[in-house]
Amino acid sequence: MNVPEVDEKEVSHPHDARPTEHVECPSCEKVCHEVNHLPAPSLPFADKRVFNETRRMDAGSFTVVNRYFPGKLDEHNIPVPVYVKLQCMHCQDPACASACITGALTKKENGAVYYDVSLCIGCRYCMVACPFEVPAYEYSEPLMPRVRKCTFCYERITRDGRLPACADTQE
């Protein structure tokens, strides 16, 4: 199937979609970066060319939105994309937390799988244990590397009573 490239000038209208669908809007990625003080991505969030490659979460991106073409065609025989947001699943019984020998990863009462950098010894057992390959290591930080992952904005939720930043894109 011939998959069309996305031009950076394309405009999407997220309000036209049903609430259960993810649309080609990386605002959840942008606000996650801002709230967590993550490094700027290689392409700006508004640049739709970011969807030309499948991305995964890493130490500098706790959530990503990817575009896939499952095979459905529109009335003009053009592939219809679907957009999928990837982030930590905050599992009911998180394998990453059970593998953590120091308790740096814990399941909190609100459902968040929380990471406490002060307890981490950098063994990376959590990375091996997670079936979704979510925890990421800061290989670029040789003196003080951390395991990085979404914490469901634990402090923001518990301290301020707010939603996680990715769910509250009206920042």
pLDDT tier at 149, thresholds 50, 70, 90: very high
**Structural fold of domain 95-149:** Alpha-Beta Plaits (3.30.70)
Please state the rounded mean pLDDT for residues 63-77: 93
What does the block give as tokens for 120?
Answer: 């981490």
pLDDT in tens, 109-148: 999 999 999 999 999 999 999 999 999 999 988 888 999 9
Q: How would you write the chain as a 3-class SS string?
A: CCCCCCCCCCCCCHHHCCCCCCCCCCHHHHHHHHHHCCCCCCCCCCCHHHHHCCCCCECCECCEEEEECCCCECCCCCECCEEEEECCCCCCCCHHHHHCCCCCEEECCCCCEEECHHHCCCCCHHHHHCCCCCCEECCCCCCCCCEECCCCCHHHHHHHCCCCHHHCCCC
Specify the pTM: 0.77
pLDDT in tens, 81-116: 999 999 999 999 999 999 999 999 999 999 999 999
Domain ranges of the chain: 14-86, 95-149
- Which residues lie below 8 Å from residue 167, measured CB to CB, with a gap of 6+? 28
